[in-house]
Amino acid sequence: MKTIGEFKSENKVAIGVGLRHPHYADVLAPSLNIEASDSMQIDFVEVHSENFFAQGGASRALIKEVAEKYPVSLHSTALGLGSKASIAGGYLESLSELANIVNPFLMSDHAAFSWSEIEGESVHAGDLLPIAFNEKNLKNMANNIDAVQQLTGKRLLIENLSAYLQPKDSILIETDFLVALTELTQCGLLIDLNNLVVNANNFSDIPALEYAKDWLQKIPAHVVGEIHLAGFTPVAEGELAIDDHSQPISDHGWQLYEFALQRFGAVPTLIEWDNNLPSWQELLLEAHKARIVSELVMNNE
């Protein structure tokens, strides 16, 4: 099993897929066709951290077995790093314990808030909610990121959010806010290209590719630790786009991926697909497309 560091030293892009429940058996099954497996391979898998917090049982046994076969990226969805309320008791400890077992090569969550307090009780929104980009939220989020990094001993990657409303009181642009977080905490960024396209559809008056490329130009290359690729259900002009991860990557997505690789270099890349899940072979084919694109870009540098 090649390490992620070896990919970077060879100027090659590590390609992974998001591992979801219907594909658990597939990821551990031995391939009967070695030639096919060589051309349809993956280099790592990403799992949602919260699905494996339970100590013992089938899920814990599974993640241990997966980690023996592939490098694992732990992608959290419930930290709520932008929340004014503290991260609920026990969550950080569970995340740290899982990280000690899996030894992930990447850990990530979102630039969002999720936690609040109602009558003294911690309540989770069950969603990733946008935050206003201002100094107060910057300091608060930096403190939460520091808490995670100090407890786990791992660098955290922060993902840009797809949003369906724009909070008031923003005095910073999103890219300045995210870059400032990396400077305050030494965290990195996970750039979700599909989220940029969704946000461009929902909020921008300029074409999606132009919007997204301008956004990426504002991000220093050295802070980017991972790229996410996904697709979403197309909508008519003027309709709200939803980041549903239910489709193959669009032509815009592939074009943007080429641009991102030229900008950031050989960054680990993940195929995200969460709804209307394809077969395992179809998912591997999408990963194979990403590998072809990355090799073309890296070989032309």
Which domains, ranges and CATH numbers included, belong to the chain?
Answer: 4-299 (3.20.20.150)
pLDDT digits (tens, 9 = 90+) for 224-258: 999 999 999 888 887 887 888 889 999 989 999 99
Average pLDDT in the chain:
90
Residue 11: partners with Cβ closer than 8 Å, 6 or more residues away: 265, 266, 298, 301
Q: What is the pLDDT of residue 33?
A: 45
pLDDT above 70 (res 126) = no
Of the candidates 283, 255, 252, 256, the residue with the CA atom closest to the CA atom of residue 270: 283
C-alpha angle 227/158/133, rounded to 5°? Answer: 120
C-beta separation of 136 from 180 below 8 A: no
Q: What is the pLDDT of residue 42?
A: 94
Which pTM was predicted? 0.93
C-beta separation of 159 from 182 below 8 A: no
| Distance (Å, whole) CA 238 – CA 2 | 46
Of the candidates 66, 72, 64, the residue with the CA atom closest to the CA atom of residue 26: 66
pLDDT digits (tens, 9 = 90+) for 4-49: 777 777 889 999 999 999 999 999 987 544 444 555 789 999 999 9
- Please state, for a pLDDT cut of 90, what percent of the chain lies above it: 70
